[in-house]
Amino acid sequence: MSRKGNCLDNSLAENFFGLLKSELFYMKKYKTIKELERDIIEYIDYYNNKRRKGKLKGMSPVQYRVHSQVA
């Protein structure tokens, strides 16, 4: 852990949960916890396997990792 007030340790988690809330949670009203849980699982699958990123040369994070390990 870094010193108090240094947010670099949490930046990846903070970014992910910020995107999760803005793209999923705030867009829909959930009636049950199970419904929210199902959507979060689907979002995590999308985030890792289907989402295209310009920084990753238009590949999903999983595709980029596989591509970089082969090269």
Q: pTM above the 0.75 mark?
A: no
Domains: count for the chain: 1
The residues pairing with 53 across neighbouring beta strands, listed in sequence order, are 59
pLDDT of residue 51: 84
Asked whether residue 6 is assigned to any structural domain, the reply reads: no
- In which domain, by residue range, is 64 found? 30-71
The string of pLDDT tens digits covering residues 1-59 is 556 666 666 778 888 899 999 989 898 999 999 999 999 999 999 988 888 878 888 88
Asked whether residue 3 is assigned to any structural domain, the reply reads: no
Asked whether residue 15 is assigned to any structural domain, the reply reads: no
Q: How far apart are CA 2 and CA 7, in angstroms?
A: 8
Nearest to 42 by CA among 52, 34, 32: 34
